[in-house]
Amino acid sequence: MVIEYEGQEVASFGIRRGSRRDAGHDYVAKALHVGPNFARQIAQCNKERQDWIDLMIQEGEIEESN
């Protein structure tokens, strides 16, 4: 999956399939440039896309449009 904002690629990741059924997807948080708690809130729909975009702008991952 590739995530873009205003034509700029911001993050990309794929879902890995491993031999351990109980293995998590901890690498997704790193790919999204967020901590595990924020990633969990995204997965649980407690955060919206705009929350993530605002954080990415604040962290300098996305250049603010004029």
What pLDDT does residue 51 have? 93
Residue 38 belongs to some domain of the structure: yes
Q: What is the dihedral of CA 8, 11, 12, 16, to 10 degrees?
A: -170
Residue 66 belongs to some domain of the structure: no
Residue 53 belongs to some domain of the structure: yes
pLDDT in tens, 9-29: 888 777 666 555 655 567 778
pLDDT in tens, 27-37: 778 888 888 89
d(CA 25, CA 12): 14
Residue 65 belongs to some domain of the structure: no
Q: How many domains does the chain have?
A: 1
Residue 61 CB partners (closer than 8 Å, separation 6+): 10, 33
**By residue range, what is the domain housing residue 28?**
2-59
Overall pTM > 0.95: no
Residue 64 belongs to some domain of the structure: no
CA distances from 55 to 20, 24, 34, 42 (A): 32, 24, 9, 13
Match 């990741």 to its residue by tokens: 13
Residue 37 belongs to some domain of the structure: yes
